Structure 1
Amino acid sequence: MRRWVKVSVAAAVVLGVGGYVAQPYAQDWMLARDACDGVLPPDAVEQLTPEDAHLLDETSRLHGELGRYRCRLTAEGGSTGDGRLVVEAEAYTRRDDLDQQFMEIFPEEGFSPQATLPEGLPGFIDRHRLINLLLPCPSLGKDAEGRQRKLLVRTALGREANYGVPGAAYRTAVALANSASDRLGCGAEPLRAPTGGAVPRDPEDDAETVPLSEAGGTACGWMTEAGLPQDQGLRVAAGVNDAAPTGRCELTDRDGESKLSLVAWYGDWSNRLTSEHGVPRSMTATARCDGEAANFTLGRADDTPGIGEAVRRRLLKGFAEDQVRRRGCSGLRFS
Structure 2
Amino acid sequence: MNEQHDSRPRVRVAVVFGGRNSEHAVSLMGAGSVLAAIDRSRYDVIPIGIATDGRWVLAADDQRFEIEGGELPSVAESGTALALPSGEGELIALDAGRIPASLGEVDVVFPMLHGPFGEDGTIQGLLEMAGVRYVGSGVLASAVGMDKAYMKAVMAAAGLPVGPYVVVRDRDWRLERERVLKDVEALGWPVFVKPSRAGSSQGISRAGDVEELVRAVEFAREHDPKVLIEAAIEGREIECAVLQSPGDAPPTASVPGEVLVEGDHDFFDFSAKYIGSDMSLAVPADIPPAVCEELQALAVRAFEALGCEGLSRVDFFYTPSGGLVFNEINTMPGFTAMSVAPQLWAASGLPYASLVDRLIQLALERPPGLR
Q: Under a length normalisation based on structure 2, what TM-score does the superposition of the two structures give? A: 0.23
Structure with higher Rg: it is 1
| Structure with the higher fraction of residues in strand conformation | 1
